[in-house]
Each structure stands twice: as C-alpha cells, then as structure tokens.
Amino acid sequence: MMLHLLKNAWHYYRDKSLILKMTVGFLLGLIVAFVFGERAAVLAPAGDLLLRLLKMIVVPVIVITLIDAICNAQSGSAARIGFSAFVYYILTTVAAVVISLAIAIPVAPGTGLTLPHANTKAPESPSFVDQILGIVPNNIFHALVNGDILALIFVALISGIALAHMCRSKDEHISELGDLLRRLVAATRAVIFRILDGILQYAPIGVFALVAVKIGNQGTEALVALAKLTGVVYVAIGAQILLVYIPLLLLYRVAIMRFFRNSREAMMTAFTTQSSSGTIPVTLGCARRAGLLDDVASLVIPVGATVNMDGAVIRLGASVVFAANIVGQTMGFADLISIVLTATLISIGTAGVPGAGLIGLTVLLTQAGLPLDIVALVAGVDVILGMGATMLNVTSDLTGTHVIDKRETTIRDRHASRQA
C-alpha cells in the first residue's frame, strides 16, 4: 500500500511542469527562510548537490547539442532564406545581450546582497587579445577538465562542421563513417537528456534548499535585489522592441500597428505558455494573416523558435551582472565581450534543451568565475522572467519573418522582371 502511494506521488510530481515545481520550491524556501532564519543552514547539502549536478552536466550538454545542431543543419534551395535568417538571429541576439548589459550595469541589481559562503575572490581578467586567443585551446582535454566554456564551444563548432562535411562527402566510405558518428552523437545526446531530465526533477528540491539557506542569512535584501533584476530584464525587453525590432520594421516599410495587431495572438500565447516551440502553430497563423510568403514563414519561424533566443540572452546578461554585483566584481571590456560571445553561442547551443535557462546561466557563471549559488536565487523568479523572455523570442521571430519576407519578395520581383 505504501509503495503504491509513493509511486503515485512520484508520478504526480514528475508530470508537473518544471516551472511550477521551481516556483513552488522557491516559495517554500522563502517560507522556511523567514521562519527559521540562519537555522535553515542544515539544508545546505541538498542545495550543494544541485550545484554539483549542474556543473557535472553543463559541459556535455553544450558540446553535444552544438555538434548535433550544426551537423543536422539543412542545406539546399532555401539556403538564401536560411542565411538571411541566420544573420538576423545573430545580429538581434548580440543586440539583445548588449542592451541587457547596458541597462543592468548602471542599475547594479545585486548591489547590497552578499553570499557569505561563496567564493567572492574575482578571477584575474585577461587582456582582450588573450581572451580572443584563449578561444582556441592548447589542449582539448585540459579545456574539458577546467570547464573552459568558450574553448569547448569552439571545439564543438569545428567538430560539427567537420562531421557535417563527412556526412555529405561524395566518398562513400567517408560518408558512412560520418553517418556512424552522427548516430553516435544523436545517441549520446539522448543519454545526456535522460540524465538532464533526472537532474531537473531534483532541481526544485535543490532550489528550495538553496533559497532557504541563502535568504535565511540575507533577509529581505535578497527579495529587493530580485525585484531589481526583474525590472532590469523587462526594461531591456522593452528597449529591444523599441530600439531593434521597430527600426528594422520601419526600414523594410512594415506598418508597425498592423504588425502588432497581426502578431498579438502569438505574443500573448508565448507570454502565457512560456514555450516558443509550443506557440509555432499560432505564430505561423499570424504570418499567414499578415500575407507573408509561405516558404519564408515555414522556414524562419520553426528554426527561430529553437535558435532565436533574444529573451534568453537578456536574462543571461542581466543575471551575470547581478552575480558580479553580489561578489563585488567589476567587469572590464574583455569580460563584457566574453559575455556577449558566450551568451550568443549558448542561446544556440541550449536551444530546445529542457531547463535551458538554468543550464545557460550555469555556463555563463562558470565562464565568468562567479558563484553558482546565484542560479537558485534567479530560478525563483524564473517564471516571471520567462514569460517576458518567451514573448520577446516570438516577437523577434515574427519581426525576422516580416523583414526576410520583404527582402525575398524584392529579390523575386527583380528576377521576374528580368525574365519578362
């Protein structure tokens, strides 16, 4: 009887959404923190376990998902549309993280908050040239052991490109070897996702423990800091729309009011469901109502739902500044460039990964030498940040679809006129 009850309780817990479980864990952690104060420190091992699990899984997730994504990239007649979409994704993602940093740095959302048991010694910042050269590792295994994220991303990128060329080789032997390796990568990705799913099932418990311990020592200062972080993220989201998307739409002569009127259904669906992929049918419907080319919408929107993560990098950029404020670390120009590059690549590398926000933030904090304890605090307001970020992702997808549609229509009209 007891075993049956435990089994049903596990199934009930497992089938609930991660966002709901993380939010409940955060709220319960707050209650324990305010009731027991510093005595909540007895829960510290449960929180430390989550941090260790995240450190363990972060490198394989980044390396394997990037190799898999690049290897399976499609090529063919849609190359021009795909290239335009890729350029758009990269430019808007870089703009998003720059805007996020530009707003977060002067606001300093983490100022006044401390983590007593965290390593608050800021690592020495290398020069800009050394930072760029450091992307290429002297030793791949050394980069793996030390968790050098940018170096590992570089290795994953060139490995994915090499594997893609092998799979498309005209040499039958090379092609067969490429297919074998691609299946091995896919199988490894499946194993990693199984492990990741288990870690994410434990994550709400770890968040509960970390929040109880950290806020039990801090009091209301942590809540004020999280409120400032949330404000920074939403201001950055508004700035991205006003300073990037609207000027692009105006440049390509897209009526702004009509754009938002046609797009509001997808934006609201994304805001409430917090799923760019789940909103794809609605987003495609908005594109059709706007009269966009079917082949453009059918390529740009599904790919954008998994690759175009403007909202995600805004959250990441603001969260890194939040963490740096807590430990009193001042970020130089080289550090900022590193954050922009890493956040942009992470947004692609973790696309479609469950708990991508947690994984992405863990990667960036590791790269910047900042304490991972901040992951638990940020996870507590993840539901609020996620709503705005997902809405921005879908808005960006539709903006890109409109821009590329205008460009593609012009090219086709010119080609038709020449033939006539």
Q: pLDDT tens digit string along 128-145?
A: 466 567 678 888 888 777
Which pLDDT band holds residue 73 (cuts at 50, 70, 90)? low
Q: Please, are residues 245 and 395 in contact by the beta-carbon 8 Å criterion?
A: yes
**What distance in Å separates the CA atoms of residue 323 and residue 101, rounded to the nearest whole number?**
12
Q: How far apart are CA 264 and CA 52, in angstroms?
A: 41
The answer to whether 226 and 377 have CB atoms below 8 angstroms apart is yes
Domains of the chain: 18-415 (1.10.3860)
Contact yes or no for 101/321 (Cβ under 8 A)? yes
List phi, psi (to 5°) of 247: -60, -40
Cα first-last separation, the chain: 80
Phi/psi for 98 (5° steps) reads -65, -45
* Candidate ranges 19-33, 138-152, 236-250, 284-298; pick with highest mean pLDDT: 236-250
Query: Which two tokens mark 69?
Result: 């994504």
> Residues 403, 382: contact at Cβ < 8 Å?
no
Supply the mean pLDDT for the chain.
78
Q: How far is the C-alpha of 92 from the C-alpha of 258, rounded, in Å?
A: 22
Tokens of 213: 């311990």
- Beta strands, E only, 314-380: none
Q: What type of residue is 18?
A: L
- What would the pLDDT profile of 229-266 be if each residue is shown by its tens digit? 889 999 999 999 999 999 999 999 999 999 999 898 88
Which of the four pLDDT bands, split at 50, 70 and 90, describes residue 150? low
The model carries a pTM of 0.66
pLDDT grade for 278, boundaries at 50, 70 and 90:
low
pLDDT of residue 256: 93
Average confidence (pLDDT) over 159-177: 88
pLDDT value for 383: 66
Residue 67 and residue 156 in contact, taking contact as beta carbons nearer than 8 Å: yes
Of 111, 118, 115, 102, nearest to 318 by C-alpha is: 102
Q: How confident is the model at residue 363 (pLDDT cuts 50, 70, 90)?
A: confident
Q: Are 37 and 197 in contact (CB under 8 A)?
A: no
Compute the distance between CA of residue 24 and CA of residue 19 in angstroms, rounded to an integer: 9
pLDDT top residue among 289 and 81: 289
pLDDT of residue 403: 93
Whether the pLDDT of residue 75 is over 70: the answer is no
Residue 115, classed as helix, strand or coil, is coil
- Quote the CA–CA distance of 326 and 258 in Å, as a whole number: 43
DSSP label of 291: T
Note the pLDDT of residue 242. 95
Q: Write down the pLDDT at residue 124.
A: 47
Q: How far apart are CA 157 and CA 159, in angstroms?
A: 5
Closest Cα to residue 280, out of 395, 394, 399, 404? 394
CA neighbor of 186 nearest in space, from 81, 67, 40: 67
**pLDDT band at residue 354 using 50, 70 and 90 as cut-offs:** very low
Q: What is the pLDDT of residues 298-344, one digit of tens each?
A: 778 877 776 777 888 898 888 888 888 887 777 776 677 777 677 76
Confidence at residue 232, expressed as pLDDT on a 0 to 100 scale: 92
- Does 399 score more than 50 pLDDT? yes
Could you identify the residue written with the tokens 């910042």? Answer: 125
Given this model, what pLDDT does residue 420 score? 62
Least confident of 98-102, 162-166, 293-297: 293-297
Of 83, 398, 392, which Cα lies nearest the Cα of 249? 398
Give me the pLDDT at residue 246, please: 95
pLDDT at 125: 45
Quickly tell me which residue has 């790269």 as its tokens: 367
pLDDT, tens digit, for every residue of 88-132?
988 898 899 889 989 998 988 877 666 655 444 444 444 546 656
Predicted local distance difference test score (pLDDT) of residue 69: 67
What is the spatial distance between Cα 322 and Cα 368, in angstroms, rounded to a whole number? 12
Considering only residues 275 and 250, tell me which one the structure prediction assigns the higher pLDDT. 250
Would you place residue 389 in the very low, low, confident or very high pLDDT band (cuts 50, 70, 90)?
confident
Amino acid sitting at position 333? F
**CB–CB of 104/385 below 8 Å?**
no
Question: How many other C-beta atoms lie within 10 A of the C-beta of residue 309?
Answer: 32
**Secondary structure percentages of the chain, helix, strand, coil, to 5:** 80, 0, 20
Among 88-92, 238-242, 376-380, 388-392, the minimum mean pLDDT is found in 376-380
